[in-house]
């Protein structure tokens, strides 16, 4: 273990001196070291790879703050934890923003999204005032007559995400039209 630590510190010292091979070896070793740490805290494998790339970039940006005279691992773990916290913060705030009531969602996913009692033309002015993504989905569904699945294919979203976005847009429109 100490030998590996010595090795990491030596690699970093050589990297700081401009040795590119040592730097590549150090980054590979660091990836190997951090992978289990991240895998334990993130459930999706793709997320681990994305975050690992962010961490490697951060190490690159911050490498001047390591002088080669203190243990390497606490330094690199501090950066990894920092990026992990950032990642989780964004992830959870995103989830909260997109959270919907489960009952409401279940009920809604069974409904056909292309059926409407009102003509699209009569409310197109209001649709244009919606956020760009929601407006685009409504245009696809009601102006161009695509199904939710087709819209999903066109926009690169999942079908459920299209339905959810459309549902949100309907809610906003309903509120506006009820006023």
Contacts with another protein by CB under 8 A lie at 15-18, 20-21, 23-24, 27-28, 31, 49, 52-53, 56-58, 60-68, 70-71, 74-75, 77-79, 81-82
Comparing CB distances to another protein, the nearer of 27 and 161 is: 27
CB 137 within 8 A of CB 165: yes
CB 99 to another protein: min, Å: 25
Residue found by looking up tokens 């009531």 in the block? 101
**C-beta of 70: minimal distance to another protein in Å?**
5
The secondary element (H helix, E strand) that includes residue 123 is helix 120-128
- Least separation in angstroms between residue 21's CB and another protein is 7
| Minimum distance of another protein from residue 40's CB (angstroms) | 18
* CB closer to another protein out of 63 and 133: 63
Nearer to another protein, 78 or 100 (CB): 78
Residue with smaller CB distance to another protein, 78 or 118: 78
């Amino acid at each position: 273990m100490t030998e590996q630590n010595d090795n990491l510190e030596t690699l970093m010292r050589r990297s700081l001196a401009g040795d590119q091979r040592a730097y590549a070896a150090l980054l590979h070793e660091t990836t190997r070291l951090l992978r289990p740490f991240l895998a334990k805290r993130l459930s999706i494998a793709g997320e681990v790879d994305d975050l690992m790339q962010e961490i490697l970039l951060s190490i690159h940006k911050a490498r001047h703050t390591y002088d080669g005279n203190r243990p390497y691992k606490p330094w690199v773990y501090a950066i990894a934890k920092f990026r992990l916290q950032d990642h989780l913060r964004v992830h959870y705030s995103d989830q909260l923003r997109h959270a919907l009531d489960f009952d409401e969602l279940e009920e809604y996913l069974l409904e056909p999204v292309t059926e409407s009692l009102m003509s699209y033309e009569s409310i197109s002015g209001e649709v244009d005032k919606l956020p760009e993504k929601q407006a685009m989905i409504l245009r696809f569904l009601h102006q161009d007559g695509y199904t939710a699945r087709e819209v999903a294919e066109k926009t690169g979203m999942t079908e459920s995400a299209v339905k959810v976005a459309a549902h949100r847009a309907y809610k906003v429109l309903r509120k506006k039209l009820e006023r």
